[in-house]
Amino acid sequence: MKAVAKAHTNIALIKYWGKRDEQLFLPMNNNLSITLDKFYTTTAVQFHEHLQEDHFILNGEYVDGDETAKITRFLDKIRSRAGKSLFAEVKSENQVPTAAGFASSASGFAALAAAATKAIGLDVDDRTLSQIARQGSGSACRSIYGGYVEWQKGEQSDGSDSYAKPILGEKDWDVSILSVMLVSKKKKVLSREGMKRTVETSPFYSGWLETVETDFLDAKEAISKRDFEALGSILEANALKMHATTLGANPPFMYWQSATIEVMELVQELRLAGIQAYFTIDAGPNVKVVCQPKDEQAVYEALKELSVVQDVLVCHPGPGISYLPSTAL
Ligand code: FM0
């Protein structure tokens, strides 16, 4: 009853921003991401007769409190689906630099969903797995698949039609995603809290909802045509729009720091110099720059020259979940 799974993190090109149901993690809008090759989580789950509670070991250290409670709430859903009540030992290794502004929750809950369902003996397809992962962290549902992935928001109140679907495989269109780590230490408003406050209080949120479906459809069309310039302009505009909604929240908040803006300005200058590079930003100050592989080196070098840039990690589209031998972790 042990299983090990590996899942990669993803970066949204059209953002998931706002829930229509917080318990079931149902999003307000369709959204779309690229699964990345460099950053992943490997998780082993083993259910034991003798355990009195779930144990969670992250990067070799026991974790208690809120983080383990989250894991338990998530495993409860899998236990009830399987009709079993055994507790588990969960061991996770994160290859996700939190300093790069990647939430490990996407790869973390995708890997946990895959390992736990397998360990408990549930036979689920990828669509169901995506729905299960979604209930740990919304963006995790997209990490079940590799390459370009959409999360269709669905209409049903029970979430039965809210899951991720692959659009284009990771080998079908190579782009470069440069993850820019900034010299910064500020504490952030977590994405879960930020999107809730925005939905509830920002007058700009209605503008987001009015236009995000068009962004989503245009991005899908650009992907199907491999039209990099079209995709780039949409993804940058969509990220800016998401961040604009936070400024109207009550109390207002902003994920950017001065270093964030320096990188944004550099990307816009690169474009004026003829290099097609575009930025996106999640719920934190770090920036991801998307460009074509032919321009990767030039963009990398330009970013490295900024004094506010600590490091730049270059990613490409990566794979969906995989299972490893039970001896792997
Ligand atoms: O990834 O409350 O999945 O589409 O990263 O756990 O469901 O951590 F920029 C924000 C991700 C939000 C956009 O939120 O939230 C995206 C964001 P949860 P997540």
**Considering only CA atoms, which residue is closest to atom 6 of ligand 1?**
137
Contacts (Cβ under 8 Å, ≥6 apart) of 148: 32, 33, 34, 166, 167, 168, 169, 172, 173, 223, 317
CB atoms under 10 Å from CB of 60, counted, come to 8
Residue 284 has pLDDT above 70, yes or no: yes
Ligand 1 atom closest to 106 (CA):
3
Give pLDDT, residue 101. 65
Residue 185 has pLDDT above 80, yes or no: no
Using CA atoms, how far apart are residues 266 and 268, in angstroms rounded to an integer? 5
Distances from the Cα of 29 to the Cα of 6, 17, 126, 165, 208, angstroms: 27, 7, 21, 15, 9
The string of pLDDT tens digits covering residues 233-258 is 999 999 999 999 999 999 999 999 99
Give pLDDT, residue 99. 62
Ligand 1 atom closest to 194 (CA):
10
> pTM to 2 decimals?
0.97
Are 158 and 181 in contact by the 8 Å Cβ rule? The answer is no
Domains of the chain by range and CATH? 2-170 (3.30.230.10), 176-315 (3.30.70.890)
The string of pLDDT tens digits covering residues 195-217 is 999 999 999 999 999 999 999 99
Cβ of 296 less than 6 Å from ligand 1: no
Contacts (Cβ under 8 Å, ≥6 apart) of 183: 259, 307, 308, 309, 310
Give pLDDT, residue 128. 98
Mutate to test the pocket of ligand 1, among 16, 21, 107, 144 (most ligand atoms within 8 A of CB): 16
